[in-house]
Structure 1
Amino acid sequence: MARTAAALHILVKHKEQAEEILKKIEKGAKFQTLAKKHSTCPSGKKGGSLGEFAKGTMVPQFDKVVFTKEVLTPHLVKTKHGWHIIKILYRT
């Protein structure tokens, strides 16, 4: 079972905005470029990179997606911080 993962994310306040960004990614837009433009998280300046982190480090909803969903496919999830588009880079 994976204990660490690396991911990119884009954090926004509204579901509609998150869905619009997700559609752009699915049409081929660069995740990192959209993160720099739209993310309200400080990681947006780094293209949304959260680096590598341990299981249990992030809020539960975020953690669940990162450690159970398909790698390299963008996923939409709501947490207490807002709406995230998460791209899991790898799990170890």
Structure 2
Amino acid sequence: MARTASALHILVKDKELAEDIIAKLKKGAHFDVLAKKHSTCPSGKKGGDLGEFRKGQMVPAFDKVCFNGELLTPHLVKTKFGWHVVKVLYRN
């Protein structure tokens, strides 16, 4: 069972924008460019890179996607912070 993961994310306020970002990613847009443009999280300045983190370190819905979701695929996650577009890079 994985204990750490690494992910990129883009945090936005509304679901429609998050869904639009996912559509752009599926058409070949670069995650880091969209993160710098749209993300309200400080990690947006780094292209959305959250680095490596431990299981249980993130809020539950985010954690669930990072440790159970498909790798390298954009996922839509709702948390108390807003809507996240999450791309899990790897798990250890």
Asked if Structure 1 and Structure 2 have the same fold, meaning a TM-score greater than 0.5 normalized by the shorter chain, the answer is yes
Residue identity in the other structure for 1:11? L
Q: How does 1:1-80 map to 2 (within 5 A)?
A: 1-80=1-80
User: Which 5+ residue runs of structure 2 have no aligned equivalent?
Assistant: none
| SS of 2:24 mapped into structure 1 | helix
1:71 is displaced (CA, Å) by: 0.4
**d(CA) in 2 for partners of 1:7, 1:21:** 16
TM-score (norm 2): 0.99
Residue identity in the other structure for 1:16? E
TM-score (norm 1): 0.99
Residue identity in the other structure for 1:2? A
**d(CA) in 2 for partners of 1:19, 1:75:** 10
Residue identity in the other structure for 2:13? K
For these two proteins, the number of residue pairs brought into alignment is 92
Q: Deviations over 1:5-41 (max 9, x none)?
A: 0000000000001001110000000001000000000
User: Which 5+ residue runs of structure 1 have no aligned equivalent?
Assistant: none
Instruction: Provide runs of 4+ in structure 1 moved above 6 Å.
Output: none
Residue identity in the other structure for 2:41? C
Q: RMSD between aligned alpha carbons?
A: 0.3
1:84 is displaced (CA, Å) by: 0.2
